[in-house]
Chain A
Amino acid sequence: MAEYFLSYYTYWFIFALTVLGLYGMLVKKNLVKKLIGMTIFQTSVIIFFVASASKWNATIPVIDPAIGTDPSGYINPIPHTLMLTAIVVGVATIGLALALLMSIYHRYHTLDEPHLLQRMK
């Protein structure tokens, strides 16, 4: 059992990170904290992809004469490149969310959800 947990320890760590992010988004009362939760959640998905590409005894995907063209000697670069795009998407999301938070603060002068709901009535 312990061996089972240890052999997948990266994925357990990522799972914990995902749950932590979701917890922040759903439970925290402050909108900025919710946004931080969202960032942790998105990052956990990114780490998941990158971790899935890791491989023992393999090197970066540039052909090395010493290894030859055997694909098992190289890391799969696709998840990394996919995640570059996903990071850009994440940055855009955070930027837009911060702009929305500024707009909310200008209109209601609070970012605390209970206060906000009171003032929206």
Chain B
Amino acid sequence: MIEHNLPVLVPLILLFGALSTSLLGSWKRALAYPLALASVAAALVIAVLGLRQTISAGAIRYYLGGWAAPIGIEYVLDPLSAFMLTVVLAVAVLVFVHARTVVAAELQGRTVPFYAVALLLLTGFSGIVMAGDLFNLYVFLEISSLAGYALIAVGEKPSPVAAFRYLLVGTIGASFYLLGVGFIYIMTGSLNIADVAKILPALVREPPVLVGLIFIVVGLAIKMALFPLHGWLPDAYTYAPSSSSALIAPIGTKIGAYVLLRILFFTFEPAAVRDTLPVADIILGLSLGGILFGSIMAIAQKELKRMLAYSSVAQIGYIGLGIGLANPLGFVGAVLHVLNHAFMKGGLFLVAGNLRLQIGHSTISGFDDSLRKAMPWTMAAFALFSLSMIGIPPTAGFFSKWYLVLAGFENSNWIAIVVILASSLLNAVYFFRILEKVYLKSSKKGEGTDSNLPRKEVNTSMLAPTIVLAVGLLVLGVLNAVIVTEIIVLMIPSGL
């Protein structure tokens, strides 16, 4: 009985969690945090149950109000959406555990609304991955985006400006998506993804459908910050509070990539996307540009969070590369990289949060080897995240790049392979720059040593999630064959 209702339970738990957090939190502030954490944890448990269920018994479909699709609204939990849901909520639980100290320190007196809005953000994300029709997907996309703007705007002094720019650009993206859906609705008369997928093959050469596809792809490229539409991202991630960026950076742009996968390979046919318009080739080209641009800009940054933001532009390029190559290995690489990058970038932003709380800044020139002595565990985790970002086996980061390289070989796309290898070197440059300061240089060179803040390791509630993510990268790396053969293979759409 419960299996049948699993899809709808996750957004409901998160939505009611958000409502009760703000209501009970305004009565007794101490209640807000445990309630929020409990809601996310409960949602994660259900997502894991759903993932197990879909792997063994196939997709679960839930019809809201009992009206069968395509007339009614359906929630679909298939292997791809169950996997995304589990990744999103697993990272979210760890960030929530970490957030208790950071949010109390950075957002005094605003903790209750922070947790309520963070839960709304997760409601939006979980709705996006499970929405069975194109319009519900838009509504959830906007729920998560609105929550995201609010979470970014409570940060440092320039954060409302960054959030306002993100809002303008994000609204253009969402409206383009909606406009594209309108064109497809006019031609097919249906919004249900499975139904549209049945009708579209006969219509795929009609101009309105192609115009709709272009609008949708451009809109989603803005939402996922695909180069050169990434302009909103660096400021937004840099000025946001530590917990907001740790929550939005690992998940937010990946959700855009997920929707792109859903549209290109599950709504349209993969063959149609390759043959009618060079959509896949364009995404491929932009991704390659993004990988190089993001990596080079990351080297030029002086501030850790800003460097990580540009690195995100590069990393979304890897996912776009897997989508653009449009073959099964590329699909595996893209999905695996969503998981790996969620862990790596989540962990790196947690490290940035730890540093900001303990030493008051995260400017790279202020790092020195006293950090190694004062915060040994945080810095060890940082080293592990860096190795994974560079792609050194057996960390998880190596394996997604490996699948992408294999996919490049399969399409004989030598440029893609060269770019992946070159970007690994560039990653090495910008991470070793910090590792060198922390592990190799003597303490006299540091510029930030005059800080009055006590330099010591963060408390357990912040350290534990950081370490769990770091160890998780090793576990994911070792288990990558299991993840690919047991879970990701099930997702590969027919016809790819």
Contacts and interface: CB of A to CB of B under 8 A. Distances in A.
B160 A100 contact: yes
A96 B135 contact: no
A23 B248 CA distance: 29
B161 A96 contact: no
Contacts, number: 67
B178 A52 contact: no
A96 B182 contact: no
B175 A45 contact: yes
B444 interface: no
Given A96-B149, A96-B150, A100-B167, A86 B160 contact: no
B172 interface: yes
Nearest to A85: B139
Nearest to B135: A82
A49 B186 CA distance: 9
Interface in B129-165: 135, 138-139, 142, 146, 149-150, 153, 157-158, 160-161, 163-164
Interface string A39-52: 00110010011001
Contact of B168 (A38, A45, A49, A52): A38
Contacts of A18: 179
B142 A31 contact: no
Interface centre among B135, B138, B175 (most CB of A within 10 A): B175
B185 interface: yes
Contacts of B168: 25, 34-35, 38, 97
Given A48-B182, A52-B182, A103-B153, A96 B175 contact: no
A52 B178 CA distance: 13
Interface of A is mostly: helix
Interface in A84-106: 85-86, 89, 92-93, 96-97, 100-101, 103-104
B424 interface: no
Contacts of B175: 41-42, 45
B363 interface: no
Interface string B167-194: 1100110010011001001100001000
A97 B169 CA distance: 12
B231 to A, nearest CB: 12
Interface of B is mostly: helix
Interface string A5-42: 00000000000001000100100000100110010011
A93 B142 contact: yes
Contact of B182 (A45, A97, A101): A45
A38 B161 contact: no
A75 interface: no
Contact of A120 (B161, B171, B182, B185): B161
A100 B139 contact: no
Contacts of A93: 142, 146, 167, 171
Contacts of A108: 161
Contacts of A73: none
A83 B178 CA distance: 10
A120 B159 CA distance: 11
Interface of A: 18, 22, 25, 31, 34-35, 38, 41-42, 45, 48-49, 52, 78-79, 82, 85-86, 89, 92-93, 96-97, 100-101, 103-104, 107-108, 116, 120
9 contacts: A22-B172, A38-B168, A48-B182, A82-B135, A103-B153, A103-B160, A104-B160, A104-B161, A104-B164
Nearest 10 Cβ contacts at the A-B interface: A103-B160, A100-B164, A89-B142, A104-B160, A100-B160, A45-B175, A52-B186, A45-B179, A49-B182, A45-B178
Given A45-B175, A85-B139, A96-B149, 17 more contacts: A25-B168, A25-B172, A38-B168, A41-B171, A42-B171, A45-B179, A49-B182, A52-B182, A52-B186, A79-B182, A85-B135, A86-B178, A89-B142, A97-B164, A101-B164, A107-B157, A120-B161
Interface of B: 135, 138-139, 142, 146, 149-150, 153, 157-158, 160-161, 163-164, 167-168, 171-172, 175, 178-179, 182, 185-186, 191
